[in-house]
Amino acid sequence: MIYRLKRIYWQLLYRFVVKKSASNEHAKFNIHNTFIMPTKFGWSLIGVTLCLFVLGTNYQNNVILAVCYLLVSILLLAIFHNYFFFTQHEIKLESVDADFENRNLKLRGTIFSQGRYAGGELGLEYSREVFKIALSANANSPQTFQVKLPKYKRGIHKLPVIAVTATYGFGFFYCWSYIIHNKSLVVYPCIERSTAQLHNKTDKEMGSVDASSQLSTSDNLQGIRPYVNTDPIYHVSWKHVAKGQGLVTKDFVEKAGSSGWLKLSDYHHLDIERALKVICYQIQALGKSNATFGLDLGSTKILPNNGNKHLDECLYQLACYGIDTQDQKRTISDPQQS
Amino acid sequence: MMKLEKVQFTTVCYMSALTFAFILFPLMTHLMLWVIILGFCSVAVCIVRASVAMPELRNITINLFSTFCLVILLLFYQDYGLLSSMINLLVVACSLKFIMMRTAADFHLVSIVFMFLIAAGFIYNQSIFFAIYYGCAFFFVFVVTFLINKGHMTFSKSTLQTGKLLLQAVPIALLIFLVAPRLPPFWQVPKEESTQTGLSEALTPGDIANLARSADLAFRAEFFSDKPKPIERYWRAIVMDNFDGLTWSISEREKNTALLTEKNYSGARWEYLVNAEPSDSQWLYSLDVPQIAENRGEWPIFLNDNYQVFSTTVSDTRNIYLLNSYYEMPVSSERVDYSRYLQVPQSGNILTRQYIEAMNFEGLSTQQIISKIAEIFTKNPFKYTLKPPLMPVDPVDEFLFIHQRGFCSHYASAMAYMLRLAGVPSRLVTGYQGGEDQAKSIITVRQYDAHAWVEAKDRELGWIRFDPTALVAPNRMLAGLFDSLNESEKELIDESKLMRQLMELGLIKSMEDGFVMLNHNWSQMVLGYDQNSQLEIVQKLFGQANIKNLVTFLLVAFVGIAFYLVTSFLPWRKWFSTKPVSPEMILLELLQKKGFTRHKHETFSQFLNRITPQFDSSLVASLNEFEQQFYATRYSGNQDEKPLKEALNKCIKALSSKHSSSHKPTNPIVE
């Protein structure tokens, strides 16, 4: 019951945050997506102001009362200064390059400032981490920044909701807004060294795989690859198009040529994550030596090819392995600190 | 909690240390010696920690030390009183925190304590000098808090920015100060401990010597007419009628003297305003014969049949009132019973009794009797001194016939006693004599101007003032206390020697005059601002001081604050920018809003060529037309901007059309 309530609470909060967030990579802050509250220091100063009012009244001391009123007006102005300081900034986040799991990823971006306030600090908060970015003394110069992201496990992740914060001036008020990064972060498995086991198409074992492919496709299907202009239209896999995965071409056995294959099933004795790590290493090793190879992950096959694009596609498939293909692009998972 | 960067930490540490030392100085008189040492040691530690890497103290060490400090504070709690003990506690807490400051939160905490200490300082002293001093301390505290998240701003710019932010707050604070309702105290608070409480209601000769050492301000008088000469400045306060042989005091009957009924004032007068510092006495100060013109203080004041001005309430607030003194009028009253002014103790002071009994006053007028009795001071070697010997038994006898040394209260007491023995109703009056001329119309009276004299009753002339001290030390009346003292006695006065020497040289006289005027106005306008002052303002503004007008006054102030905020934060600079606004600048700004920004090195043409592939044909056509017109106008000698403006309008229309919503940069380049 408590778990359900908690879940509902977090869902409602997330919806609210999404509604009120700057919501794209180029975030502009305004009255609709900016929040402001006193900081702990601000609350303390409000307390001090009240105490001074009582002290000044009890001692009938006009000077103490004047100090109290001065603090009130400083607090009042601090709200406006902090708000205008915060909203004079725009933040453009760059998409995060795909990387391997358990590596420190960097979130890069640029802060643009167009306003009267120079200096100050902006904070980026996510996953309970706070990064302070000291801003330039020149109010109108853009400033790049990079901050560490938490370590992620293999998969396709949505970046955490980033809270941009500011406590400009004396630090009495905390102004913040949320940025939701729309692009996903692809995290490949890390590597585990091993010798490559390449299968030729003439292998008996390979033949059996081909047979199974034939069963499923009934057309000597070898695998799929991204569509290029010279491909015949009748080779387009409309099933993939319907699933929203873009134009892909079906490759048939005749076209496969004499290339080697990396097969996940070779490592069935290993834990699946470990097997993916081994394959990941092999893909990189083969890619480095510019070898032509194909990838057979069982449900997904990539025809033998070479080059960086091919390497990226193979690694991407490793990152997606085991994730529902329909939701591959949309899967949201929380980063897991390792 | 986030630690500060090294450079930031060093600057903030230095600034905090300076601020703490700055705040500690004026509080030193109220702090225990070990607390002062602890405070300054922590300042030193803070500076060293900022300069050199030092191991951090363990929490348990600090906790043990703080417990130890707390125990000592509790032990001395009763000697120092509640208020001073609380301030000592705050300083100790702040010092201990100071030793181990690391994070921004630590500096914030210390800043909060600083603000409390500044406010506590104002309990003890509210003069304008201290207000300026603590104002600087207040500014330093805010500089510290600003430095914590200043970014890449330099120290000097941060200080400047802090100053700007604080100055911006001053007008709002002033408005709130003017309109905020003045409430009565919520509860009784511990009073500041003080040994200088003004004039005492009982006088044992020697008592005023303590007061004479204090250079504290008693009151200031601002004259709107001519000022009285120094010898005429007898500021009357307390009338004592009861003498028990040792001490003069006020009898219950005298205390309950009836209020003055209708009186016909006439003749020349002095008009002046008295701004009296808070004291423990209800009696206020006036020159003879006073008439209350206006009361500007918080509590009501009255005038009794003895021509004493008094307040019914003794409080920590100052009394400000306007008086007219008719100096040509006699101090007389309608009363007929003067028997209590002849009261003398049945025993004691035998030598004086015999001396008076031996004299023959038959047929002499009151003034002649006074003169005859006063001969004792002129014919014998009496001396005016602040260091008289102790006279615990029969003080009048000892003073008149043995020591013959004393100050005003000795002379006044002996004279009043002798007059009573001679059958002349007399009483002892205490108050202040003289005062320093400052800033043209102001007389500053300090505690060391406290004085005692005698009033004797004459049937026709009323009460005649007689000052026996003047016979022995005429300089005391003519030039003030300092000129009647020798060098060793001057040391008794609690005033800076350097200041006095500078004053004698006249170097800072004019500066001091300006300062006195400022302080006087500060006392009246700020320290003396109360509910009555508010009502006066309302009355001046709206004609009548009623609830409706008070509420209007409040509302006007709030509207004023709102207006001030609006005017402060509107983009005036942008609106009234002196930059010439050309059509091309407008277009560039519009495109920038859409996310297309021109590189610094790009020409206008290059910029348009770069971005046009992302637009639809209508917008591209408009932009091309604009480009042509731009080059034609700016570089072909065509001065007419009309075609350029028309092209701009087309571009604006194309940009704001339905399709323009799709004009999103695929790869916006922003400088």
Closest-approach residue (CA) in chain B for A135: B151
Residue among A61, A73, A120 minimizing CB distance to B126 = A61
Chain B residues close to A169, C-beta within 8 Å: 146, 165
Q: Which single residue is written with the structure tokens 């604070």?
A: B173
> How far apart, in whole angstroms, are the C-alpha atoms of residue A152 and residue A187?
7
> How far apart, in whole angstroms, are the C-alpha atoms of residue A257 and residue B269?
125
Q: For residues B99 and B57, is the Cβ–Cβ distance under 8 A?
A: yes
Residue among A56, A58, A66 minimizing CB distance to B173 = A66
Q: From start to end of B309-402, where are the E strands?
A: 309-311, 319-325, 383-384
Does the pLDDT at position A326 exceed 50?
no
Residue B145 at interface with chain A, using a CB cutoff of 8 Å: yes
Q: For residues B285 and B219, is the Cβ–Cβ distance under 8 A?
A: yes
CA torsion through residues B316, B317, B318, B319, sign? negative
Please tell me the distance in Å from B123's CA to the nearest CA on chain A. Answer: 7
Contact B153 A118 (CB under 8 A): yes
- CB contacts < 8 A, A to B, total 160
Domain boundaries, chain B: 6-179, 210-503, 543-570, 575-663
Residue among B112, B161, B187 minimizing CB distance to A48 = B112
pLDDT in the model for residue B304: 84
Q: How far from A143 is each of A137, A138, B148, B602, CA to CA, in Å?
A: 11, 10, 20, 21
Q: Which secondary-structure segment (H or E) carries B239?
A: strand B234-240
Chain B residues close to A63, C-beta within 8 Å: 122, 126, 131, 526-527
Contact A121 B185 (CB under 8 A): no
> How far apart, in whole angstroms, are the C-alpha atoms of residue B539 and residue B525?
17
Residue B184 at interface with chain A, using a CB cutoff of 8 Å: yes
pLDDT in the model for residue B18: 92
Does the pLDDT at position A46 exceed 90?
yes
> How far apart, in whole angstroms, are the C-alpha atoms of residue A198 and residue B355?
139
pLDDT in the model for residue A210: 40
Residue B498 at interface with chain A, using a CB cutoff of 8 Å: no
Q: Stretch A248-266: mean pLDDT, rounded? A: 67
Q: For residues A38 and A174, is the Cβ–Cβ distance under 8 A?
A: yes
Q: For residues B471 and B406, is the Cβ–Cβ distance under 8 A?
A: no
The whole-angstrom distance between residue A20's C-alpha and the CA centroid of its chain comes to 19
> How far apart, in whole angstroms, are the C-alpha atoms of residue B370 and residue B423?
11
pLDDT in the model for residue B589: 81
pLDDT in the model for residue B336: 62
Chain A residues close to B171, C-beta within 8 Å: 73
pLDDT in the model for residue A286: 84
Q: For residues A297 and A130, is the Cβ–Cβ distance under 8 A?
A: no
Contact B108 A40 (CB under 8 A): yes
pLDDT in the model for residue B663: 47
The whole-angstrom distance between residue A179's C-alpha and the CA centroid of its chain comes to 12
Residue B236 pairs in a beta bridge with: B286, B431
> How far apart, in whole angstroms, are the C-alpha atoms of residue A81 and residue A73?
12
Please tell me the distance in Å from A188's CA to the nearest CA on chain B. Answer: 27
Residue among B165, B185, B573 minimizing CB distance to A81 = B165
Chain B residues close to A168, C-beta within 8 Å: 149
Contact A61 B183 (CB under 8 A): no
Residue B533 at interface with chain A, using a CB cutoff of 8 Å: no
Contact B108 A44 (CB under 8 A): yes
Please tell me the distance in Å from B423's CA to the nearest CA on chain A. Answer: 48
Does the pLDDT at position A40 exceed 50?
yes
Q: Express each pLDDT in A163-185 by its tens digit.
A: 899 999 899 999 999 888 777 88
Q: Stretch A5-33: mean pLDDT, rounded? A: 74
Chain A residues close to B595, C-beta within 8 Å: 26
Query: Mean pLDDT per 10-residue run, chain B (671 residues)?
Result: 70 92 90 91 90 81 88 83 86 90 90 92 86 93 91 88 94 92 78 58 68 73 88 89 87 75 80 86 87 82 85 77 87 72 86 88 86 88 82 84 86 92 90 83 85 87 87 72 61 56 60 74 80 84 85 92 89 67 81 77 84 83 87 76 85 71 40 28
Contact B112 A116 (CB under 8 A): no
Residue among A57, A72, A119 minimizing CB distance to B151 = A119
Q: For residues A181 and A92, is the Cβ–Cβ distance under 8 A?
A: no
For an interface test with A, give the residue of B106, B149, B179, B669 to mutate (most A CBs within 10 A): B149
Q: Stretch A133-159: mean pLDDT, rounded? A: 81
pLDDT in the model for residue B596: 80
> How far apart, in whole angstroms, are the C-alpha atoms of residue A291 and residue A300?
20
Q: How far from B589 is each of B592, B593, B596, CA to CA, in Å?
A: 5, 6, 9
Closest-approach residue (CA) in chain A for B107: A41
Residues 6+ apart with CB under 8 A from B506: none
Residue among B115, B148, B176 minimizing CB distance to A171 = B148
Closest-approach residue (CA) in chain B for A172: B145
Contact B151 A59 (CB under 8 A): no
> How far apart, in whole angstroms, are the C-alpha atoms of residue B147 and residue B15?
9
Q: Give the DSSP per-residue string, A29-72.
A: --TTT-EEEE-HHHHHHHHHHHHHHHHHHHTT-HHHHHHHHHHH
Tokens for B100? 């181990």
Position A21 confidence tier, pLDDT thresholds 50, 70, 90? low
Q: For residues B276 and B320, is the Cβ–Cβ distance under 8 A?
A: yes
For an interface test with B, give the residue of A58, A94, A172 to mutate (most B CBs within 10 A): A58
The pLDDT > 70 percentage for chain A reads 80
Position A58 confidence tier, pLDDT thresholds 50, 70, 90? confident
Closest-approach residue (CA) in chain B for A137: B153
Chain A residues close to B148, C-beta within 8 Å: 171
pLDDT in the model for residue A298: 80
Pick from B393, B394, B383, B397: which is nearest to B355 by CA? B397
Contact B108 A77 (CB under 8 A): no
Closest-approach residue (CA) in chain B for A72: B173
Closest-approach residue (CA) in chain B for A41: B108
Chain A residues close to B565, C-beta within 8 Å: 76-77, 80
For an interface test with A, give the residue of B150, B157, B521, B573 to mutate (most A CBs within 10 A): B150
For an interface test with B, give the residue of A46, A54, A61, A62 to mutate (most B CBs within 10 A): A62
Please tell me the distance in Å from A187's CA to the nearest CA on chain B. Answer: 25
Chain A residues close to B154, C-beta within 8 Å: 137
